[in-house]
Chain A
């Protein structure tokens, strides 16, 4: 553990990062990570990586390079040669990930999941017609129509889903669109701007601050060039580039600049050594696309559901085929029954409802800054059980902020919230006056001009992170820093450098009576303290003795222990006699004292957590989601942030802390008692798979610090071994394999690189962890609501199936026709089933465990049984009551109906006697049959209203949920009634649709059953709430 050593952490103001010191082997690690996880994927990728290791251009000197690439450093390539190479190597651009062609995407929509079932239904219908037609060519076309309708349903929902999909993909696409970049290249001895795509190996390019490096280049000359390699390595500290070969590893050496990284400052000239897909970034990107694409959980669930429905349909069909055959029905007729049963079981409208629900949620999420690449991924976040979050930007605000102050022997806390309105520490002390002066003056950062109306926190600042923090801090507290600086004119200055580790400036004072110069200094606290002989307490200078030095040490350790970057501040009024007005201060020779100063105070800086994050983490925890922090940052900082956002909760300890508290060696601590764990990349590297698994299982609160980005992949895989659904946030290209591997890759919107965005399923536009929690909630909600939608839709399948079965067994006139069934499935039931997508969450949505992806199915046994065998049967009974009522009141009493079928359907009997002795022609009977259909249809509709209302909740009472909170449900109910009214009264005379004008009272026959359904379900929910875990709960909760 390098912890002790680094407890006093991070002092550099202009911090040239301590990355090299911490992770010498980082580069190697990166390769290891890549190799391990690609090696078994594809051989050629392994080859590619080997080639990557072979890269030795950084070792060559310029002449060798010129030879190798056949170029001239001064004159560059000739245009003709360049064109040749371009033709040979292709353009310098990453080939986009293999896009599935639009046609394939469209066809996928046509044959995926449900569609198969519907196609099968349609084909069966046509086969049935074919069979019938072969027997008797005057047979009705009903089956053909049904088949056509089924086919149309698939095609339309397919088009719809494709359209939705395309729409959300386009949103993403628009983000990743890049403006064509230009590169300054020397060719034929002339500098020209050409599109970066036309760069070829051997080109000499010039880059300057702000440019994106257009290809992998070997630096030939550099002037203070610094690059941001964060998109490659995840480290955000700028790294200097020069022409010196500093490291064996091409990733570590300073003389290579990488494609797509940004040059922050300075200029450089380099030779292109790799272009397009052969660049390091290109290789990582292609590696990522090699990681297998996984099916989304919801796709798996829907597949499972289709299996269930198909299973039920086929088995009922076969059973009744056997029954029909044994009842001496002709085999061909039995086959048609079989097909009819299968078709009756297909929920035609569900496909559309699911698609609409998903896209509604996607839209809702987009409003909350979450973009979904694939509609099905909407749900995935809901089943997340582990979130691997990075720290910077996601959990934190991604900007340095003053967190604590120490002066007058006391630690004060500063407001680190996003707007910093409430700075409540004691500002009356004279020490503060001095400190604030130093903070203001000893600072080179400045606001960019022209931002008068921008809130301070949002103003753009020229300067590094720490100085920016200090500038904004003093601007907030004292206002108009620039003016104060003007009043205290700067006469000399020594900027920060890593040898001095301090920054110093000398100012005139704004007090006209005071002709002394003020020397202000800030820097690493221990360095500053060395230079001080006095300390200011309550405005008074006091000699720096043992006890004050100790107090300083304690404060320094305390703040450092919080993972904060601590800065010391001191000043000195230069005596007027020695340093008169005209004294020529010289920063080079330092012709002024730099010791014996007066120590004023400490300020500590941190990238503070976003204020919404702790709440979000708590929510995750209560939702049973493990939040793991994976960061490249230092363990102490990581831990401090983890503690402050609650990833490590206040009362839990790491193994080391327990050992400390109990005063026993680390080995003796029972590891299971420690809830928290902080694991560094170094430790992770040494770990075996089993050890990693052990950590992931035993600790609930884990922080991985100093991890190389490629270790993320190892962590993700570790989590997935625990059967967890893992969400990973990431932005850099380096993250893309992990993002791809994860069940849900969450690309952070603003900072995310394009390569990362290609791999993700999700985009957060605001980089905010809290948005993930919103996503989780929405994902769970859609899962619940899909459950409700499916339960609602499945229920009436029984009411549509039973008539057919009874028709076969008891030979009654057919209670409901296939066309009428279609009007339920695709008419009255469509809007209500979509309306359930608008249903608000039940109270427990964020208080239960994430669903187990193998055990908690979308459609489980309970849902199927309850829908089919409880509510479905109730509905059938209600509908049959309506059917019998119609027939009995028109003359056919129930007893008469049994086994009437063959006479009823006989066209040559036109004087069929009813229970009253009246005689009916075939057409009159048919009309009555249609009235029966209509009554049956209306009865189903009425009971589906009850079904819709009960499906609003699965556990809570309807009255807890509120009948009227979801207005769309009422739109749905209205639509059901209106469609039924139109069908019955508007189309009563159109015989094709087989609807008749129904007597008013028949609309109400099924109402008592609707009430029974509601009451029964209320009792079900009541017992579930009252007796959790009971037999009832286990069998009745779906």
Chain B
């Protein structure tokens, strides 16, 4: 990468402020950034991590994308769900994914979730919350399954808490859950009710599916399908879509008249004769 002769130029911030002032005088407003008003969540279960997300992207009050993918790839064993400004989550996860790949090539090892977490939080803190990306990062590495939630200003939560973390691979892994986004309250309610430590994979998938469905049906910013990503040691199951909660309805009636509605009195068929065929070249200069 370059030495920082190249920086962000901030002059367009001034121009945007002037344009916004002018637009407000006329009564219009500037176009809104596309956000993923979202429900995303993650659960640590017995053998790994299940991440879930809805698939609606909104642009103000309009649905911009009915089936967008919110679970981003970071590394073969780490995936990240993103809420907030869609471009920010996309670019941030891609940059961290590239950096993590270079780092793992340099160390020669599978990357750790804590590394991805550290890189993300340092970058988000550097930009002081102006990058609107709220992320749920989950993965399985040599130390077991991990789940982090990362906020736009750069603070992170590791669930389970550090004091309860167990280094060995045996015995009980203290499991916990994390939600983020506008539909997160609905999803968190489902988690608080039905979460248990050491769940089986099917149970964890059902729990995440129900939590996302709660967000989809109770929050306007979330909708469409439910995507799941199950990460276990050595295997990743990216299920897209896991559940089509909002299928587009099928029309029950049709205004077109069926053939035969009008009675046919007589029928004459005329064959067209090809008399002449000419080719005219087009001027495509």
The answer on A and B forming one complex is no
Task: Spell out B's residues near A (CB within 8 Å).
Answer: none
Task: Spell out A's residues near B (CB within 8 Å).
Answer: none
